[in-house]
Amino acid sequence: MSGRTNASGVADAGAKADSIRQRTLHESSDQGCLPVHNGVLPSEEKVPQTQSGSQCSLHVWSRKTLLNRKDIPKHLQFNPYIETGYRPLLSAWGCIMSLFYFHNETINIITHGVPMLYILLRWKTLLPWSEITVPLLPWTHLVSTVSPWVGSTIYHLFMNHRAGETCYKSLLHLDMFGIWITQSFGALTTVYASVFCLSEQWIWKVLVVYCLVSLWCLYKDLLAVLGGFVGALRVPEKWIPGRLDLLANSHHIMHVVVVYAVYHLHQGAVLDMVWLSGNSTCSLGESDAML
């Protein structure tokens, strides 16, 4: 009788243990199907089949996967005053899917992604093509206005790719290259308009010197130095750490200001190209005499 009772108790205990284990597995599949380790979500092929359902997919793209600064790799901890809202390291597809939930790079992606799409979709309406007859400059100008947004959007969207620091540095160089294109070729229209009334020989001299200086700046990576100096201010999040993680920190503000600046660059370039196309008032003799 005692043995039968003990056997029954063991069976009941085993049943309860199975029930608890099944409930725990079910809850973990809802709440933590892809655990984060050092900022990394394991690849899908490592996830057990029982955890690859819709509930798991919902969890991966939810805000619950966002991390604190101390939980992400060192190469992503570049702003000590942004404490939360970091995405874990993800695959390329995971980075793309991060467009559909809010994190501390969302504003950066939107503020430069929207101008990029606008220019790519509406380039035919951005210039008065019927009034512009100068060759190459219109296309150079369009490339220069879209380049910073392309580089920046790709950088901010994929900066947390699980390929790690090497991938991050390559994306950062792409971002800097897009800025360099804007700074160099964006001003080319204004430079050409400034020397348009000189002789052809002097025009080419000025343009060649300008291009050489631009290439030297790229070689010396002065843009990175300037960006580091400006970014080091970290205002206003420096004054209230952790309060501006998702909105209105210094990088967000810089993104908006840069878009406004390039908009005015575009407006000035359009006026220059229209003037160059219709100008017939230059006195080359007087210009050469001044030189």
Query: Mean pLDDT over residues 170-187, rounded?
Result: 91
Question: Using CA atoms, how far apart are residues 105 and 85, in angstroms rounded to an integer?
Answer: 8
| 259: pLDDT strictly greater than 90 | yes
Select the highest-mean-pLDDT range: 5-14, 58-67, 180-189: 180-189
CA–chain centroid gap for 235, Å, is 20
Residue 24, pLDDT score: 35
pLDDT band at 283 (very low <50, low <70, confident <90, very high): low
Domain assignment of residue 120, yes or no: yes
Domain assignment of residue 45, yes or no: no
Question: Using CA atoms, how far apart are residues 92 and 127, in angstroms rounded to an integer?
Answer: 35
Mean pLDDT across the chain? 78
Residue 61, pLDDT score: 46
| Cis upstream peptide for 236 (omega within 30°) | yes
Residue 140, pLDDT score: 95
Whole-model pTM: value is 0.74
Domain assignment of residue 7, yes or no: no
Residue 209, pLDDT score: 87
| Two structure tokens written together for 65 | 């996967």
| CA-wise closest residue to 177 among 221, 228, 137 | 221
pLDDT band at 93 (very low <50, low <70, confident <90, very high): very high
Residue 210, pLDDT score: 81
Residue 153, pLDDT score: 98
Work out how many domains the chain is built from and give that number.
Answer: 1
Domain assignment of residue 21, yes or no: no
Domain assignment of residue 216, yes or no: yes
Contact yes or no for 56/47 (Cβ under 8 A): yes
Residue 201, pLDDT score: 83
Residue 222, pLDDT score: 54
Could you give phi then psi for residue 133, rounded to 5 degrees? -115, -10
pLDDT band at 200 (very low <50, low <70, confident <90, very high): confident
Contact yes or no for 34/55 (Cβ under 8 A): no
| 138: pLDDT strictly greater than 50 | yes
Domain assignment of residue 13, yes or no: no
Q: Which of 63-90 are b and which e, b meaning 16 or more Cβ less than 10 Å from the residue's Cβ? A: eebbbebeebbeebeebebbbebbbbbb
Where in the sequence is the domain holding 173, given as residue range(s)? 94-290
| 212: pLDDT strictly greater than 60 | yes
| 67: pLDDT strictly greater than 80 | yes
| CA-wise closest residue to 50 among 30, 68, 69 | 30
More confident residue, 274 or 183: 274
Residue 45, pLDDT score: 41
Domain assignment of residue 8, yes or no: no
| 40: pLDDT strictly greater than 80 | no
More confident residue, 21 or 199: 199
Domain assignment of residue 51, yes or no: no
Residue pLDDT, tens place only, 143-169: 999 999 999 999 999 999 999 999 999
